Amino acid sequence: MNKPYALVAAAVLTALTTASHAQTTIEPAKPVKSTTQTGKLNAITDVPGIEVGNFEQRHTGTTVVLAPKGAVGGVDVRGSAPGTRETDLLDPTNLVNKVDAVVLTGGSAFGLAAADGVMLWLEENKRGWNVGGGNVVPIVPAAVLYDPGRFGRDFKDRPDASFGRKAAEAASAGPIAMGNVGAGAGAVAGGLKGGLGTASVDLGDGVMVGAIVAVNANGSTVNPATGELYARYLEVGDEFGALQAPFAADAANGAAAGDAAGEPVKNTTIAVVATNVKLTKAQATKIAQMAQDGLARAIRPAHTMFDGDTVFVLGTGLLDLSTLKQKATWGSAPANINVLGSAAADTLARAIVHAMLNASSVGKAPAYKDKYPGAFAR
């Protein structure tokens, strides 16, 4: 290209770029709100419109997250060995806009039967997609983790529809038991006993974010060099108690814990994050994507070929940020999703820590508190 044409081309490009920028206003990223306060229960049930129930027996179990008034849902699946149900319905391009419950359960793919019990219970209570004639079809996405045959249990001894029903019947908006309960009953994580954990954060202006997780990871939640839980630094207040770096002897003793349970290829961590903020399905899906960062902060490696790591997000829609008197502190919808997604990731990571701290030793899978006693007050 000779010089006159080059100058003309450069001028045209400059004009087009200037015009494009003039038509598009890009809002600068806002700093993430300080997460200095948990909800009253420090549980996902701090989120208005959310209830949780658990049922477990013989080292396996089911956790049900109910949304009695319905909730907009999203999901993100990162692991390469997932076991799920009804996740396609959460795609923003699909018809159904709200879900009635999410099921987290043991039992591998067989455990998906637990969702049948939840569906039947919801149908009896007239909750679900109205299909006319007084009939409803409850929308119940589900995800499973692998625990069949673990801790001496018969392989066929696994969650079925009765587990889901009993968990739904037990659901409440109150405190949530953690550790070897619900979907975390048979969980292991990097050779240690995994379990169920929950946490929440109060973002101010009435905005709540909570998470619940069943930690059954192929990777480890513990730094092998120090014996510390990777995500302990995300603590809000003193929620983890007097947790500290273990004695050097504890760390050395636990360095080989990854093979202790003898099951390196039978895993998956599954979780639900909830907020009371009004969301679209696309926004819920984006928050689910960001929440997966919480798994990566607390578990290393995460999202492996042997995991089916799945995170659901529920928005109960009881609070519309666009109508808040304090909305100037929140900004545009994209900026708000940044804040909610960041809080979701940290809250999920904290829930993983709670799962590990509350687990109890079973068989060849020692609990963190037994493997690393030096991490606790002395």
pLDDT digits (tens, 9 = 90+) for 21-31: 444 344 444 44
Q: Would the pLDDT of 96 be above 80?
A: yes
Q: Domain for residue 345, yes or no?
A: yes
**Mean pLDDT, rounded, for 319-347:** 82
Q: Which residue has the higher pLDDT, 149 or 1?
A: 149
**Mean pLDDT, rounded, for 152-163:** 87
Predicted pLDDT at 150? 86
Q: Which residue has the higher pLDDT, 258 or 312?
A: 312
**CA 23 remoteness from chain centre:** 38
- Domain of residue 261, CATH code: 3.60.70.12
Q: Domain for residue 93, yes or no?
A: yes
Q: Would the pLDDT of 345 be above 80?
A: yes
What is the rounded radius of gyration, in angstroms, for the C-alpha atoms of the chain? 22
Domain ranges, residue 156: 36-375
- Domain count of the chain? 1
CA-based end-to-end distance of the chain: 77
Predicted pLDDT at 303? 87
pLDDT in tens, 211-257: 999 999 989 999 988 889 999 999 998 899 877 777 665 666 654 44
Bridge partner list, 306: none
Q: Domain for residue 336, yes or no?
A: yes
Q: Would the pLDDT of 109 be above 70?
A: yes
pLDDT in tens, 195-213: 999 999 999 889 999 999 9
Q: Domain for residue 25, yes or no?
A: no
Q: Kindly report the number of other CB atoms within 10 A of residue 109's CB atom.
A: 15
Predicted pLDDT at 9? 43
| Three-state secondary structure string covering the chain | CCHHHHHHHHHHHHHHHHHHHHHCCCCCCCCCCCCCCCCCCCCHHHCCCCEEEEEEECCEEEEEEEEEEEEEEEEEECCCCCCEECCHHHCCCCCCCEEEEEEEECCHHHHHHHHHHHHHHHHHCCCCEEEECCEEECCCCEEECCCCCHHHCCCCCCCCHHHHHHHHHCCECCCCCCECCHHHCCCEECCEECEEEEEEEECCCCCEEEEEEEECCCCECECCCCCCEHHHHHCCCCCCCCCCCCCHHHHHHHCCHHHCCCCCCCCCCEEEEEEEECCCHHHHHHHHHHHHHHHHHHCECCCCCCCCCEEEEEEEEEECHHHCCCHHHCCCHHHHHHHHHHHHHHHHHHHHHHHHHHCCCECCECCHHHHCHHHCCC
Q: Would the pLDDT of 170 be above 60?
A: yes
pLDDT in tens, 287-303: 999 999 999 999 998 88
Predicted pLDDT at 4? 44
Q: Kindly report the number of other CB atoms within 10 A of residue 170's CB atom.
A: 14
| Summary mean pLDDT of the chain | 85
**Mean pLDDT, rounded, for 264-274:** 85
Q: Would the pLDDT of 62 be above 70?
A: yes
Q: Domain for residue 16, yes or no?
A: no
Predicted pLDDT at 16? 41
pLDDT in tens, 33-58: 445 799 999 999 999 999 999 999 99
CA-nearest of 266, 270, 287, 260 to 352 is: 270
Give the confidence band of 307 by pLDDT, cuts at 50, 70, 90: confident
Per cent of the chain over pLDDT 70 is 83
Tokens in use for 212?
A: 């619940």
Rounded distance, CA 184 to CA 196, Å? 4
Rounded distance, CA 264 to CA 318, Å? 42
Predicted pLDDT at 175? 96
Give the confidence band of 148 by pLDDT, cuts at 50, 70, 90: confident
pLDDT in tens, 175-202: 999 999 999 999 999 889 999 999 999 9
Q: Would the pLDDT of 365 be above 60?
A: yes
Tokens in use for 114?
A: 């637990």
Amino acid residing at 267:
N
Predicted pLDDT at 327? 59
Q: Are 168 and 120 in contact (CB under 8 A)?
A: no
Predicted pLDDT at 23? 42
Q: Domain for residue 96, yes or no?
A: yes
Q: Domain for residue 316, yes or no?
A: yes
Q: Domain for residue 1, yes or no?
A: no
Predicted pLDDT at 52? 98
Q: Would the pLDDT of 321 be above 90?
A: no
